[in-house]
Amino acid sequence: MGQGMNNVWLTGYGSHGGHPDFGVSKIDFQSGIPVVNFNPIPMEFNQTQANIADANGNLLCYTNGYYIADATGDTMLNGSGINPSIFTSGKSDGLTIPQSHLIIPYPSNPNQYILFHSTIDNQVQTTASFLYYSIIDMTQNGGLGEVTLKNQILITDDLNAGKIAAVKHGNGRDWWIVCHKVNTDSIYTVLLNPQGVAMPTLQSAGIVRAKDVGQVTFSPDGSKFAYNWLLDGLEIFEFDRCSGIFNSLQFVPLNNYSGMGVAFSSNSQFVYASAGDSLFQFDLIASDILASQTLIAVYDSFVSGPIQLPTYFQLMKLAPDGKIYITTGNGTFHYHIIDQPDSLGLASNVIQHGLNLGHYYYNTLPNHPNYHLGPLVGSICDSITGLPPPEENLTLKLYPNPNNGSFQITYTPLPENLQLKVFNTLGKQVHAQLLPQWSQLQNIDIGKLSAGVYMATITSSASKKSAKTSLPKRCTTAPLQIWILP
């Protein structure tokens, strides 16, 4: 399932070592909440950041568009010299192109990863001329990895810089990778399967998209795709995971606003668009998507860091905890948070400047696809010929145990909401909580309960897991136990 692969985010400036306002912040979601720590690595990040971790959340490799680093922070073997370009050679502190790099597990090869990447090749037009790919083999160099194939040209064309996204094919194994031909309505799709990278195909969909800053993303369930960019606004597409075909669903002109970022809720019902000083929500199951536009936040004039820069709404990302985090567009210390993105309107609860990173960063978010997406069940492509469909094994862990009622749980991300329930020894339910679909960790507080042993369950429509949980007077240690801390 790839649980843990997107649990680590890196951001910040690393070259000003020793200065209290600078350094790389590592945001780790493994515990159920975003834990921010200073990370003394030499790599600097501007707006380009891609990384991947193993299933346990251990960081394997990462890049700022200038070079690829291994888990120790050193340049990975053969990891220098990616993106050959005059523009890249002048960006040793990291590229300034959001979503220009993306790391994906190689299908059917658990030890190899493929990096799709681009830079600005035409500095006059600020466009990319190539989409590259490079292969990383983690069995090499004592497990630290080696770039065994580098800067392979996949597409040669006038491409919109960045805005590279990926989604699982309907068979749950292969991947679709997409990028965009500049000043046209054309979208490139590339299929990655165990045989390698297939020939790119070009299709027309939606309106003409000019070269400009913006963001793209697939919905967690892979059925929708959204594109928000500065000059025009938000465009929402339907996407066929079997064929790779886009169909324009809705265009939203964000008049008088500067469109920039976009993200979907974990249930794929709501799409959020940032527009400088404003933040909007759209309901995709509404009879009129355009009429569902709701202003959910306006910039509150907060300034961040010693330089006192404004904290606008810019790039956005759905995190492993089911919340959406938003950059500020400036060199600040803070992310904004959409706390309940599965909720309608103001109930989504925007917490402005809600996460303090402790150091300056510049508009940086990692570019992660939904690694956990499985087959499109019931479709014509929901299985792989000759292979049985993958099983959804619902797992559950809890830390610490015993405790006082507050703890973190980690569990298998699934394409549906899960239900956490806690019962006492008499079978009486003492706590219930909904866990957002595609989330994989949560911070839980079930309040004060009498010391003793409790039973916790997580249920989905297909499976059920339960485990004894102990309060301070008793501790159980079964392998799959959930230890709940009343």
**For the segment 388-425, what is each residue's pLDDT rounded down to a tens digit?**
444 455 677 776 666 677 777 777 777 777 888 776 65
Q: Average pLDDT, whole number, for the chain?
A: 86
Question: Quick one: 56 exposed, middle or buried, by C-beta within 10 A (0-12, 13-18, 19+)?
Answer: exposed
Which pLDDT does position 467 carry in this prediction? 43
In whole angstroms, give the CA distance from residue 154 to residue 14. Answer: 32
Q: Which of 3.40.50.1860, 3.90.105.10, 2.130.10.10, 3.10.450.40 would CATH assign to domain 8-362?
A: 2.130.10.10
Asked whether the predicted pLDDT for residue 318 surpasses 70, the reply is: yes
Q: CATH code for 396-470?
A: 2.60.40.3080
Contact 82, 53 (CB under 8 A): no
pLDDT bracket for residue 171 (50, 70, 90): very high
Of the given ranges (221-225, 324-328, 367-371, 447-451), which has the lowest mean pLDDT? 447-451
Residues of the chain with CATH 2.130.10.10: 8-362
Answer whether residue 42 shows pLDDT above 80. Answer: yes
Summarize pLDDT for 279-305 with one digit per residue, the tens.
999 999 999 999 999 999 999 999 998
Which tens digits make up the pLDDT trace of 239-248? 999 999 999 9
Task: Mention every residue, 6+ apart, whose C-beta is less than 8 A from residue 281.
Answer: 270, 271, 272, 292, 293, 294, 296, 344, 345, 348
Q: What is the pLDDT of residues 3-27, one digit of tens each?
A: 689 999 999 987 666 788 888 999 9
Give the residue among 6, 7, 42 at the shortest CA–CA distance from 24. 42
Helix (H) or strand (E) holding 280, with range, is strand 278-283
Q: Is 88 helix (H, G, I), strand (E, B) or coil?
A: helix
The whole-angstrom separation of Cα 398 and Cα 444 is: 10
Residues of the chain within CATH 2.60.40.3080 domain(s) are 396-470
The proportion of the chain whose per-residue pLDDT surpasses 70, expressed as a percent, equals 86
Whether this prediction's pTM lies above 0.85 is answered by no
